[in-house]
Structure 1
């Protein structure tokens, strides 16, 4: 596994500056209040922002990994959301402090001679540092960036001067021409895509899974669980064995037993509850692991994934 550890650092940061990036999109530059250097990160990484009480949201880092003084995120206000983006837009102004966990990376950029980046809307945020990294590595790359309109597309003005970038506002050009984009991709091209669920589904239909890397904002439908009945979970740290009934998650049962586990989204998209698997077969139901990582059967996300057999032994 190349994924991040479940041990996640937590720190209080201050909002150093705030800017408008597009209609209903702002950027926040976060810094250590004492001016200390921040931990390093790699393209594709994100932060957990602890906004209020148990309200935790994930935002991709979209700045320069070489800048150890500042972490930059961009946040779209979502009127139909659950309150996270509204809190950021309404409450986080320069001088405000915010509790931050991370960074963690479940969407890493793998070495390749060439890349095709496909972004939809605010999905441009993890792609920006990937493009910069591909350029620095001397790789060939192309970016197709779609959105509702130019005014809604963060960073579109900055990207538009490069002939390797196609800015594709839907109100001017319709939906991204994925068939043409993918047909033009040369052998050895890795495809990285982030954006709304319909875009990801359309790319998945057209792209071989061995070259495709996705980051999801919403969970993918995992279908019914492999087991309809209960199963046991042994916690290796204490030797305790718990029973997980149908309709309840491992995370719920473990927390109820008084075992603290860091978690956030509870829908298999953020990766916060990543847990090592020591024995037993997993019914992976997350939206993070690829086929190879699922086959390794060495980690799971206990907010949604379950057992594929009678018992799991977890590194808890």
Structure 2
């Protein structure tokens, strides 16, 4: 899945940037297989070119796929986490998109080489007695390993899976055959849209609710969840960045990169990532729009003006990390661990 990420994490400790995952080197991979799943979804099986084992990963993880000098796309890993020999990603063909799905569907062939970074996880599967998964379209992909994990653990769970039509809902038949009544399929051409109000009204406070799909679905769940007192945590994974509704707090500010010993000014037309790279400071990045989490950086001091689509409101309030590609400072000077 080409995706951008927002997740709300459990746990009481302040969030810290996952520098170990960020530092992982590029992996030279080979496309072992391309398998049509539906008319518009193709699954790619990737293996390491050197034949070595792949890094481990957990349900909810994604990888960066380098498709060109200025074309990096994020896709959810949807295979078996215990498989260290191959990774699977499923890609929706979007003819009016930014070109990544066209390249993967129609240009790259089995046996060709490709560069991959990661994996990283901004959509962690938390411990809970029961789970509700709500998927829209290609948003089903991160839920495949999650469902496998919670089902093996014996937890209660259910999946509501919507799509435009049954024939284009990837993995729908396999999920229904394997899990029967735990899976509810809602093809829009037959049943209309998912009845979120009815579904969310029945959620218990101890249920972990996970949602992935188009922005309209995520916004609808967020709006409805705010009206119910019975809902605890909502975990979201976004495809596209949220549009900021307010102007930046400051047009200009200073940033100190404490490990590099460099202090520079950030102008209104610059990002923190821009000035870091101009100063020769190595800073990992990928999407440059605050959605993939690659550039997440620890805050040493100062207050962030968060503009990203990764951190939950509670995590932003913690002021422990920020995405330097898009977030700014809400104070004259901010100090970062770079």
What's the CA shift for 1:89?
0.8
Count of residues in correspondence between the two structures: 316
Q: 1:237 aligns with which of 253, 259, 274?
A: 259
Matched, 1:163 2:181: yes
RMSD between superposed Cα atoms in Å = 1.5
Aligned counterpart, 2:192: 174
User: Could you say which residue in structure 1 is the equivalent of 2:146?
Assistant: 130
Local SS of the residue matching 1:42: coil
- 1-structure distance, mates of 2:151, 2:59: 13
Whether 1:299 and 2:317 are equivalent positions in the alignment is no
Deviations 1:145-184 (A, max 9, x none): 1111112211111112221001111111111111111122
Deviation of 1:187 after TM superposition, in Å, equals: 2.8
> Distance in 2 between the 1:37 and 1:257 partners?
36
1:186 aligns with 2:204: yes
Tell me the alpha carbon deviations over residues 30-62 of structure 1, each in whole angstroms, 9 at most, x when there is no partner. Answer: 111232211110000000001111210000000
Does 1:110 find its partner at 2:126?
yes
TM-score by length of structure 2 reads 0.90
Q: Which moved more, 1:218-227 or 1:117-126?
A: 218-227
3-state SS, counterpart of residue 227 of structure 1: coil
Q: Tell me the distance in 2 between the aligned counterparts of 1:111 and 1:95.
A: 39
Which residue of 260, 281, 298 corresponds with 1:276? 298
Partner of 1:212 in structure 2?
234
- What per-residue deviation string (whole Å, max 9, x for no partner) do you get for residues 13-35 of structure 1? 11111101112110001111232
Change (3 A) 1:281 1:234: same
Partners of 2:160 and 2:134 in 1: how far apart?
5
- Where 1:163 maps in the other structure, the secondary structure is helix
TM-score (norm 1): 0.96
Q: Does 1:100 align with 2:122?
A: no
8 Å contact kept, 1:280–1:311: yes
Q: Distance in 1 between matches of 2:48 and 2:168?
A: 30
Distance 1:71 1:15 in 2: 10
Equivalent residue number for residue 6 of structure 2: none
- Residues 15 and 30 in structure 1, CA contact (< 8 A), matched pair in contact too: yes
1:153 aligns with 2:169: yes
